[in-house]
Amino acid sequence: MDKNSIRDFYEKNMYGIWHMGETVTYELLGADPKTGTKPENPFEVIGGELVRIKAENASRSTSFIVHAYLPEDEARSIYPEGSPFIICMHPIIPRDYFLSRGYAVIVLENDRIASDDTRHVGAFYDLYPYGNDADGQTGVLMAWAWGASKILDAVYAGLDKEFHLDAEASMVTGVSRWGKATAVCGAFDDRFRMTIPACSGAGGLALYNYVSEGRTYDLSKAGGSSEYTYGKNEPLDCLQSDAERGWFNDKFLEFKAPEDIPIEQENLPILAMDKERFYFIIAAYTGEDWVNAPAMWECYKKAFAVYEKEGLADHLAVHFHLVGHAVTEEDAKLIVDYFNHMHYGIDTDVDLCKLKTTGFAGQEY
C-alpha cells in the first residue's frame, strides 16, 4: 500500500478524519502594559506564557489556550535564527532541561481540545461535530493531534517571530494515550520535523499482533532483571471499551481480533518518513507490561527496514530507558543531541548506531 492508501485506511477504519486548512490566528495573553496585571490563568499549575489559538473554518470558529515556556537569553543564543521547540500534549518531566539547552516548550491542554471520552466535546468538535458514519467521524486521538497541528499553524502565522522560534525546527511529543496521539500527529502533519511518541502502546506503536504477555526477557544488559516476565498486555477489546473507544471512530469497533486489522502499526512511523524529517521512539523496559514495550521494539524493527531501504536509516531512532512511563531526562538528552545533529548538523556525542540498532533488552538488531 502507498502512503495515501495507508492514511485513508487509518482515517476510515481507526482514527477518523484528519482536518486541516482552517484560518488560524493567535493572541498573546500577557500582562496589562498599564497595570502589570496578568490575565487569569485557568491552568495555573502549568503556567507559562499564555497564548490563545483561534481556528475558523467555513462555518464555525473556536479557540483554546496553550502555555509557552521560552529559554533564557543565554540558552537562546545557541540558536541565533530562533529556538527549536517541542509541542507537548501535556506537561513533561524534563521541561527545564530542554529550556536550559535553548529549546522552547509549548504545552497543550488536551481536554480543552477534545474530552477524553465518548462525548466528543471540545475545541476540535466545535468545528467538526462527531457524525453518524466514518466520513464524518474523528476520534479523540486524531482530535488531539489536530490541536498540536493548530499550534504549528500559529507558529507559521507569526508566533515564531513573537517568541523567536525556528519555525522549521518543530517537534511533537506525548506519553501513553498522548503518545498514541503524537504518533498520529506525525503521520498526518508532515510539517513536524521530529515526532517523539513515548510509551504509546496499543493503538500507538505497539504491534497489535505481537504479544509479550507471559514471555520472559533478559534485561540485565539494561540494568534490570535477567528474567523479567511480562504481565498482561492491553488487549484490543480494552481499546474498544467504553473507557477508551472514544479515541477511535466507530468503524474500529468492527475489528473482532488483532488479525482482522489488515495493516500494522509500523505504518505510523513509515507515514512520517521523509528526508527532511526524523522520528524518535521512546519506551521503557520495565513496568510497561500493559503498553507492551516489546511490541514497540518489534514495530521499530519493521519500520526501520523500510527507512533503511529508502536510505533514511539515520532518520529513525529508538531509546528504551529502564523504568518510567514518561519522557525522562535521559531521553531528553538524547533527543537534543539527536535533533541537533540531524537537523542542524551540530557535532554531538550521540551514538547514532546505538539509537538505530540497539533496542529491546540490549539485543542487537
pLDDT over 90 (residue 42): no
pLDDT tens per residue across span 236-270: 999 999 999 999 999 999 999 999 999 999 999 99
* pLDDT, position 100: 97
Average the pLDDT over each of 19-33, 69-83, 299-313 and give the range with the smallest value: 19-33
Q: Which residue has the cell 509549548?
A: 106
Mean predicted confidence (pLDDT) in 46-57: 91
Choose between 362 and 147: higher pLDDT.
147
Helices (H), the chain: 3-13, 73-76, 95-100, 110-113, 123-127, 140-154, 160-163, 177-188, 236-239, 267-271, 293-309, 329-344, 352-357
Q: Beta 61-69 vs 49-56: how paired, if at all?
A: antiparallel
Mean predicted confidence (pLDDT) in 49-59: 96
C-alpha to C-alpha distance for 144 and 185, rounded to whole angstroms: 8
- Give the type of residue at 203: G
Cα dihedral sign for 134, 138, 141, 142? positive
* pLDDT, position 25: 98
pLDDT over 90 (residue 317): yes
Written as nine digits, the cell of 166 is 525556528
* pLDDT, position 288: 93
Written as nine digits, the cell of 75 is 540558552
Written as nine digits, the cell of 56 is 475558523
Confidence of residue 364 (pLDDT cuts 50, 70, 90): very low
Q: For residue 265, what are the contacts with CB-CB under 8 A and spacing of at least 6?
A: 183, 204, 205, 206, 207, 208, 299
* pLDDT, position 109: 92
* pLDDT, position 359: 57
Q: Could you give the percent of the chain with pLDDT greater than 70?
A: 92
Cross-strand partners of 197: 174
* pLDDT, position 333: 95
120 sits in the region (left: phi over 0; alpha: psi -120 to 50; else beta) called left
Q: Are 137 and 114 in contact (CB under 8 A)?
A: no
Q: For residue 51, what are the contacts with CB-CB under 8 A and spacing of at least 6?
A: 26, 27, 28, 29, 65, 66, 67, 68, 106, 154, 159
pLDDT tens per residue across span 175-210: 999 999 999 999 999 999 999 999 999 999 999 999
Average of per-residue pLDDT values in the chain = 93
C-alpha to C-alpha distance for 344 and 321, rounded to whole angstroms: 25
pLDDT tens per residue across span 86-141: 999 999 999 999 999 999 999 999 999 999 999 999 999 999 999 999 999 999 99
- Give the type of residue at 123: A
Residue-range domains of the chain with CATH: 3-362 (3.40.50.1820)
Confidence of residue 365 (pLDDT cuts 50, 70, 90): very low
* pLDDT, position 347: 86
pLDDT over 70 (residue 356): no
* pLDDT, position 1: 85
Choose between 34 and 86: higher pLDDT.
86
Mean predicted confidence (pLDDT) in 26-55: 76
Q: For residue 128, what are the contacts with CB-CB under 8 A and spacing of at least 6?
A: 17, 19, 57, 138
Average the pLDDT over each of 34-38, 59-63, 136-140, 306-310 and give the range with the smallest value: 34-38
Confidence of residue 33 (pLDDT cuts 50, 70, 90): low
* pLDDT, position 194: 98
pLDDT tens per residue across span 273-300: 999 999 999 999 999 999 999 999 999 9
Q: Which helix (H) or strand (E) holds 173?
A: strand 165-175
Residue 266, classed as helix, strand or coil, is: coil
